Amino acid sequence: MSELPKLPKVYAAISMPLEGMNRLRKLCQVTVNDRDQDPTRQEFLDGARGMDALIIYPQVTVDKELLDTAGPQLKVIGTFSVGLDHIDINLCKKRGVKVGHTPDVLTTATAEAGVNLVMATARRIQECIRAVKDGVWGTVWDNAMWLAGKEIAGSVIGIVGLGRIGLAIAKRLAAFEVSKILYTGRNSRPESAESIGAEFVTFDQLLEQSDFVIVACSANDSNKGLFNAAAFKKMKNTAILVNISRGVVVDQDALYNALKSGEIGAAGLDVTTPEPLPTSSPLLTLPNCLVTPHNAPCTVTTRNAMCELTVDNILTGLEGRPLKAPAF
């Protein structure tokens, strides 16, 4: 292993599990934003100035201003995510700044969160919790249909984006005796799809046929606001939308209207615009809209693994070696 320069400087915009951070601290001079809040833009710029490496996450944008502020000595950025839409990748390439991320280690936890949202919305868990706590249980029966949910068995699953995470979700749902699994995206993925018998269709076909629409694609310019009023119109009235991708893929005003009017059945969102979602958001008034605080990758196992991988990315980048999990 080539020798590390004396105490390279690392700024971490977020704190991470202590075990992994301590490994980094043995070899680097680490400054951490260890408050519970995101750094402000100014705090982030100030923290980045003069650094050899940065640890960031999707709330923090890497653009020309950031790279200029950090300085030409910046060698590597490690993002605590698999998503890269908050980073100007082309500019990093141009300036010779390596970028690492955390694919694969977070696939399982994120897929489990996706399935969890499917089941929680199908069985109206949010309404169930309220009904029990408000004492409604026992006062409504509705011809045996009170709080009747939606079965996964016999349903059509539609995955938007059959990448690592989308495929992992599909594999799990395949054990629930679903009717079929459809997927859509920019390219068909025959190797992945064949393993689970998933069928490639157009976006519109997926919307029209699916009982559960699961958004697991990476976000890019072509799919911002993909789920708009027109898309919700094409979906079944009983369909459930689950989004574990990025908030920007969904037009939230259109979603609110679609849920309120019964254009679609329900939604489960782990990602929103903005994040955190303000408590005043009208989405939070809807019994059929379940929002979780962007914690799909957040299990003890996976957070530790993400931390270790980020530290590996930083150390290899500082040593001038190929990153463990490079973005490019």
Secondary structure of 230-291 as H, E, C letters: HHHHHCCCCCEEEECCCHHHECHHHHHHHHHHCCCCEEEECCCCCCCCCCCCHHHHCCCEEE
Q: Which is nearer to a second copy, 28 or 109 (CB)?
A: 109
Measuring CA to CA, which residue among 107, 120, 68 is closest to residue 306? 107
Q: In the chain, what is the greatest distance between 2 CA atoms, to the nearest angstrom? A: 74
Q: Which is nearer to a second copy, 69 or 299 (CB)?
A: 299
**Would you list the DSSP string of 68-128?**
HHH-TT--EEEESSS--TTB-HHHHHHTT-EEE--TTTTHHHHHHHHHHHHHHHHTTHHHH
d(CA 53, CA 31): 11
Q: Which is nearer to a second copy, 134 or 221 (CB)?
A: 134
Work out how close the CB of 257 gets to a second copy at its nearest, in angstroms, rounded to a whole number.
Answer: 20
Q: Which is nearer to a second copy, 91 or 298 (CB)?
A: 298
Work out how close the CB of 63 gets to a second copy at its nearest, in angstroms, rounded to a whole number.
Answer: 22
294 is known as an active-site residue: yes
Task: Report the site for a second copy in 112-141 (rule: CB under 8 A).
Answer: 112-113, 115-116, 119-120, 122-123, 125-126, 128-129, 131-141
Work out how close the CB of 113 gets to a second copy at its nearest, in angstroms, rounded to a whole number.
Answer: 6
Token pair for residue 252? 């939230």
Q: Does 104 bind a second copy (CB under 8 A)?
A: no
Using CB atoms within 10 A of its CB, is residue 301 exposed (0-12), middle (13-18) or buried (19+)? Answer: exposed
Count other Cβ atoms within 10 Å, centred on residue 75.
19
Task: Report the site for a second copy in 59-98 (rule: CB under 8 A).
Answer: 80
Measuring CA to CA, which residue among 327, 306, 324 is closest to residue 315? 324
Q: Which is nearer to a second copy, 73 or 301 (CB)?
A: 301
Binding region for a second copy (CB under 8 A) out of 8-16, 215-223, 226-234, 253-261: 8-16
Q: Does 16 bind a second copy (CB under 8 A)?
A: yes
Q: Which is nearer to a second copy, 51 or 306 (CB)?
A: 306
| Residue in 22, 40, 195, 295 binding a second copy, rule: CB under 8 A | 295
Work out how close the CB of 34 gets to a second copy at its nearest, in angstroms, rounded to a whole number.
Answer: 8
d(CA 93, CA 115): 36
d(CA 141, CA 166): 37
Please list the residues that pair with 267 across neighbouring strands. 241, 289
Task: Report the site for a second copy in 166-205 (rule: CB under 8 A).
Answer: 171-172, 174-177
Angstrom CA distances, 200 to 162, 190, 203, 288, 291, stand at 10, 8, 9, 29, 29
Counting residues that bind a second copy (by CB under 8 A) gives: 76
Task: Report the site for a second copy in 226-265 (rule: CB under 8 A).
Answer: none
Work out how close the CB of 240 gets to a second copy at its nearest, in angstroms, rounded to a whole number.
Answer: 13
The contact pattern for a second copy, residues 17-56, with x = CB under 8 A and - = no contact, is xx--x------------xxxxx------------------
Task: Report the site for a second copy in 148-167 (rule: CB under 8 A).
Answer: 148-154
Q: Annotated catalytic residue: which of 9, 98, 150, 294?
A: 294
Q: Does 293 bind a second copy (CB under 8 A)?
A: yes
Catalytic residues, by residue number, are: 294
